[in-house]
Amino acid sequence: MINTVYRPLIWSFLAILIFSCEDPIDLNPSIVTEDALLVSGERMRLSGRVITTQSINASDHGFYISDNEGFSQPTIISLGARENPGRFIGETAGLSIERPYFVKAFAELPEGILFGNVLNIETLSPNVFKFSPSDGAEGTIVTITGVNLTQDVRVFFGDNEAEVIDIDFESVLRVRVPPIGNESSVPVRVIIQEKELRIQGNYEYSTGIYTKLFEFPGTVRFIEGISLQEGNTFYSGMGTDQSSALNNSFWKYNLGDPEWVRIDPPTRVLRRAFSSNTYYGGGSASFFPFLTVRDFVKLENGNFEVLPDLPFNFINGKGFELSGKLYLAGGDESTDVYEYDPESGDWSIVGSVPYRILNNNFSFTYQNRQYFINPETRDLIMFNPDNYSWTTVGSYPGELGNNGNGFAVNLGNKVFLGLGNRSSQVWELDMNTLNWLRKNDFSGSSLARIVGSYVVDEEIYFLRSPESQVGGSVEFWRFDPFAF
């Protein structure tokens, strides 16, 4: 009976005795510095965690960041008061690039500041890859792509600093191109916290200065005429007066003279005749209806020699000279390509045009090849007189204007093309690379047509005949494509 009553009491006493020997349960909070969720050149996004089974009464929590292990003068990411345990995330910016930092989480409790473990994290290196566009004028917006770009980034075009517009995702930087300095082709330098980064390739500033030399006296306007050049002497005229009549005036200019001089037309007035540097002919001898004629004239030593008539009709087509021979292509009435040998005086049909080539189309000569811009496709097409072939070699990125009527000339290995009717654009084509570069826009009125273009040394001269609604007379301009 006694054993039965006291046996449960004995077991209870033993249990109390055993459990009283274990350590007491720790209900104090702890804090862990977990990881860096994001690291860039100047930013860190960090995660930490408060571990406890009960609420805390932290007046602040967050992270300490320092460039030294003693955490003197740390950067503090303060996330404010906190009551519940669990994960927290903080972020900071403005750090130095390529630098190791010491990081630890903290929670400020009534009994003191509780710190977590220390992590060692290094910020990343910035880099830049490319910029676009690679050419343009002052004020152009250029986009630079890279990684780990910082808010204090500076960008220089040559020696001139650009305005930084914005930075997206630390990888896309937009800047405004500063004024041009002493050079038109300059490196692009990106400076981030005293580290200089250079991007491959130069930025090409738009260049080109247009100078209006003078206007023709009175009200002189003409289109669909001819223009020729012999050395420093220029000729232009005939065609129509832009109304309903032929233009009976013909003009001559010696480079350096104060004005163009009107002279007698060498032959009857022609409309939509072809003209190369040396020859002109064909076209119509009446305004309308067309009266197709076969006149053929050569300029030599300042004299115009009337040659035997063309053996075919040719109106509104293109004439050009290659290796001493004359070629006529396209026009209103033919798709043939004709070759004229001045030694024998013979004409031959050597092929046909790949599209409808007209006299107002852009075309230029380079190294015994003739190049054309197809106005329908903008293709750059080369004619080779060695085998009479046509080959597409590139495309034109600019404006063609209203029915062309611009200029296309070459200086060395560069070609300059533009100023089609109602367009102010001029482009440069590098014939070595077939890359296009836009020049400064024309500073005069775009409501005009080129009626003559000429090259002397590294300068281009051209005549602009204004549209009838504009008024005024033919203007004579000089264009230096490399000046700025």
What pLDDT digit, counting tens, does each position of 376-398 carry?
999 999 999 999 999 999 999 99
Segment 263-321, tens digit of pLDDT: 999 999 999 999 999 999 999 999 999 999 999 999 999 999 999 999 999 999 999 99
Question: What is the reported pLDDT for 404?
Answer: 80
Question: What is the reported pLDDT for 15?
Answer: 43
What residues are paired with 212 via a beta bridge? 477
DSSP string for residues in 125-158: PPEEEEEE-SEE-TT-EEEEEEES--TT-EEEET
Question: What is the reported pLDDT for 228?
Answer: 98
Find tokens 């152009």 and name the residue. 140
- Do 30-122 and 209-480 have matching folds? no
Between the alpha carbon of residue 425 and those of residues 130, 292, 368, 419, 437, the distances in Å are: 26, 34, 27, 6, 11
Quick one: fold of 30-122? Immunoglobulin-like (2.60.40)
Q: What gap in Å lies between CA 146 and CA 428, rounded to an integer?
A: 30
By the 8 A CB rule, do 145 and 214 touch? no
Task: Please classify residue 126 by burial: count the beta carbons closer than 10 Å to its beta carbon, then call 0-12 exposed, 13-18 middle and 19+ buried.
Answer: buried
Confidence (pTM): 0.80
Question: What is the reported pLDDT for 371?
Answer: 98
Segment 444-471, tens digit of pLDDT: 999 999 999 999 999 999 999 999 888 8
Spell out, as residue ranges, where the chain has pLDDT lower than 70: 1-27
Segment 5-20, tens digit of pLDDT: 334 433 444 344 344 4
Structure token pair of residue 43:
């930013």
3-state secondary structure at position 357: coil
Question: What is the reported pLDDT for 22?
Answer: 46
Task: Please classify residue 203 by burial: count the beta carbons closer than 10 Å to its beta carbon, then call 0-12 exposed, 13-18 middle and 19+ buried.
Answer: buried
Find tokens 């003009």 and name the residue. 251
Nearest to 297 by CA among 331, 267, 320, 270: 267
CATH 3.40.50.300 fits 127-204, yes or no: no
Q: Is the dihedral of CA 422, 223, 235, 431 positive or negative?
A: positive
What residues are paired with 426 via a beta bridge? 418
Q: Is the dihedral of CA 211, 213, 216, 219 positive or negative?
A: positive
Question: What is the reported pLDDT for 218?
Answer: 87
Between the alpha carbon of residue 448 and those of residues 273, 393, 425, the distances in Å are: 20, 30, 13
Residue 23 neighbours by CB distance under 10 Å: 5
By the 8 A CB rule, do 42 and 93 touch? yes
Nearest to 442 by CA among 467, 468, 460: 460
Strand ordering across the sheet containing 274-275: 274-275, 279-281, 296-300, 303-306
Between the alpha carbon of residue 464 and those of residues 212, 221, 263, the distances in Å are: 10, 9, 19
By the 8 A CB rule, do 246 and 265 touch? no
- Looking at residue 98, what DSSP letter applies? T
Q: What are the domain boundaries of the chain?
A: 30-122, 127-204, 209-480
Structure token pair of residue 208:
């080109």
Between the alpha carbon of residue 50 and those of residues 30, 41, 82, 109, 248, the distances in Å are: 6, 28, 10, 12, 97
Structure token pair of residue 317:
């087509």
Q: Please identify, in words, the CATH class of the domain defined by 209-480.
A: mainly beta
